[in-house]
Amino acid sequence: MSRRPSRDIESIIRDGTAIDRAIVAARRRVIQRHRQLGVPLAIWRGGQVVEVPPESVELPADAGVAKADER
């Protein structure tokens, strides 16, 4: 027996909020992991891929905490 999602995929895509939060959360996790490991981040800058220290990249706000009261 499979659980049905609370909203259908069409409404999730149309709204986009959940997708935006997931992207921000993923970006946050990647930056944190690179900081833990001390590994440079590869980013797109000026039309090319460059490596930058993870400490030089701003950590996005935790979208999950800000939106927790919506649940």
Residue 3 lies in a domain: no
Residue 41, domain member (yes or no): yes
pLDDT band at 9 (very low <50, low <70, confident <90, very high): confident
Domain assignment present for residue 42? The answer is: yes
- The tally of domains found in the chain comes to 1
Q: For residue 12, which phi and psi values (nearest 5 degrees)?
A: -65, -45
What's the pTM value of the predicted model, to 2 decimals? 0.68
Name the residue among 13, 32, 11 with its Cα closest to residue 22.
13
Is 1 part of any domain?
no
**What's the Cα-to-Cα distance from 48 to each of 1, 20, 44, 51, rounded to whole Å?**
48, 25, 6, 10
Note down the domain range covering 45. 9-70
Q: How confident is the model at residue 2 (pLDDT cuts 50, 70, 90)?
A: low
4 is a domain residue = no
With 60 as the cut, is the pLDDT of residue 1 above it?
no
